[in-house]
Amino acid sequence: MKKGKIQEAGINLVESFSEFKEFKNIDKTTLMSILEEVFRSMILKKYGTDENIDFVINIDRGALEIWRNRKIVEDDEFEDEILEIPYSEAIKIEPDFELGEEISEPIQMDDFDRRSILSLRHNLATKIQSIEKEEVFKFYKDRIGDLLTVEVYQVLKREIIVQDDDGNELILPKSEQIPADHYRKGDSLRAVIINAEMRNGSPAIIISRTSSLFLEKLFETEVPEIFDGLITIKKIVRVPGERAKVAVESYDDRIDPVGACVGMKGSRIHGIVRELRNENIDVINYTTNPSLYISRSLSPAKISSINIISSEGVLKADVYLKPEQVSLAIGKNGYNIKLASKLTEYEIDVYRDTDEDVDDVDLDEFGDEIESWIIDELKQIGCDTAKSVINLGVEDLVNRTDLEEETIIEVIRVLKEEFE
């Protein structure tokens, strides 16, 4: 195979598409492969075959050359202009060419019309964008669970679009935002990656600030003993922006896991609390003793006694407290007792440890006088008897339920009549 003097200057076609030479997520090998595929498609359309086409790729220079090979034949035997070249034309290129040899000529951009070039550019851009999107998806799929800092790009009604350092877009849905979160374009925020998927050919990277994993990663950042594996987070439960409970355990008896997580004068946990919009965080020392674990989980309430019940695979715990401790055990909107149940995986029922409650009456017995939805609302905050409602008082009930003050006053009047 010979190349004539005119052809020795073989043109680097990639230079005609210099805008495609640098891509942040595509290596040169992949880019050259894409270029060959796109050019080969264009050649097939023009010549009907690519069997006599050679592609010369120089990865280091990012160069791609295309050569068309044709066999030299007698002028009177010339039949196929795609695969053959007449002898009389061949010797014009190089006088010492002989019959039967192959002549190799460079294919240049001038060999194609404007429409073909525009089509090639479009196909090339489309394929590169597709590869870039796939690379972004793969990159983040391998980073699920990682904590990252991003910049707010666009605030929408149902989600916030953010960008990473490379300009890739990620999504923070409304459901994954802490209720007190308020951001504007240009603000930075921290979140954890919880999902990566392809939607209509584009990567959808979902991040979260409400996930328990987000809180876990914040602890890893603030507490070196957790990052180093000296302290393990056994479980996290939370109501984002309101309250969270974190059970921790140390494998080194010399390390106090709760103290290490809280830090001197709360120095470590304060940063986490601020990040979570003042979310109340209870750090609890994990134990396999169920009674002790439940007692710790109901902090800050002080427990008088606990009766553990296991029935048909359901774990229950009857917890008895002094009257003044009940509201602490239940917590605002019932969050404390709900989270304690999730943390320990026990159904926890709270009872007052006092003789005054002997003659108490179950709320369900007032079904004829109080509407069932009101009774259900009271039960959600741990009030399942008449005196438990009366003892809390109007102000506490207004704060802890969605009931109107007038409704609560009427309920208390009905309940008090039972004891008069």
In a domain, 322, yes or no: no
In Å, what is the CA distance from 327 to each residue of 125, 259, 294, 301? 64, 26, 16, 8
| 205 strand-pairing partners | 196
- Domain hosting 396: range is 356-417
User: Do 365 and 409 have their domain in common?
Assistant: yes
Query: What pLDDT sits at residue 261?
Result: 95
- State whether 186 and 123 are in the same domain: no
With a pLDDT cut of 90, the percent of the chain lying above it is 45
Backbone angles phi, psi at 238, to 5 degrees: -155, 155
54/88 same-domain check: yes
Identify whether residues 119 and 238 lie together within a single domain.
no
One domain for residues 25 and 110: yes
Torsion of CA 338, 341, 343, 346, to 10 degrees: -170
Question: Is 100 inside a domain boundary?
Answer: yes
Treating both helix axes as pointing N-terminal to C-terminal, what angle do 28-47 and 114-141 enclose, rounded to 10 degrees? 150
Tell me which H or E stretch contains 235.
strand 231-239
Confidence of residue 9 (pLDDT cuts 50, 70, 90): very low
CATH at residue 34: 3.30.1480
The last residue of one of the domains, among 264, 286, 308, is: 286
> Which of these three, 84, 100, 133, is where a domain ends?
133
Asked, for residue 30, whether it belongs to a domain, the answer is yes
Both 171 and 201 in one domain: the answer is: yes
- Are 280 and 239 contacting, i.e. CB atoms less than 8 angstroms apart? no
How many structural domains comprise the chain?
4
336 C-beta neighbours (distance < 10 Å), count: 25
Among 229, 254, 286, which residue terminates a domain?
286
CATH code of residue 172: 2.40.50.140
Binned at pLDDT 50, 70 and 90, residue 359 comes out as: low
Within 10 A of 220 (CB to CB), how many other CB atoms are there?
16
Q: Is the pLDDT of residue 8 over 70?
A: no
Q: What percentage of the chain carries pLDDT values higher than 70?
A: 89
Any residues with CB less than 8 A from the CB of 310 and at least 6 apart, and which?
316
CATH code, domain carrying 389: 1.10.150
Residue 117 lies in a domain: yes
Least confident range of 44-48, 155-159, 386-390:
44-48
Please check whether residue 185 lies inside any domain of the structure.
Answer: yes
Q: What is the CATH number for 276?
A: 3.30.300.20
Residue 161 and residue 193 share a domain: yes
Are the C-beta atoms of residues 184 and 168 closer than 8 Å to each other? Answer: no
41 and 120 fall within a common domain:
yes
Q: Are residues 160 and 248 in the same domain?
A: no
State how far the Cα of 136 lies from the Cα of 122, in Å rounded to an integer. Answer: 21
Stretch (H or E) spanning 284: strand 280-285
Task: Supply the DSSP string of 136-188, one letter for each residue.
Answer: HHHHHHTTTT-EEEEEEEEE-SSEEEEE-TT--EEEEEGGGS-TT----TT-E
Residue of 93, 41, 48 lying closest to 72 (CA atoms): 93
Q: What is the pLDDT of residues 89-105, one digit of tens each?
A: 888 888 888 888 888 88
Q: Residue length, the chain?
A: 420
* Tally of CA atoms within 13 A in the half-sphere of 378 that contains its CB: 30
* 30 and 118 part of one domain: yes
* Dist. CA 101–CA 79, nearest whole Å: 16
Q: Within a domain: residue 345?
A: no
Give a yes or no: residue 413 inside a domain: yes
**CA 227 to CA 217: how far, in whole Å?**
9
Are 129 and 155 members of one domain?
Answer: no
Of 123-132, 170-179, 208-217, 370-379, the one with minimum mean pLDDT is 123-132
Residue at 334 is within a domain: no
Note the pLDDT tens digit of each residue in 212-262: 999 999 999 999 999 999 999 999 999 999 999 999 999 888 999 999 999
Pair (191, 237) in one structural domain: no
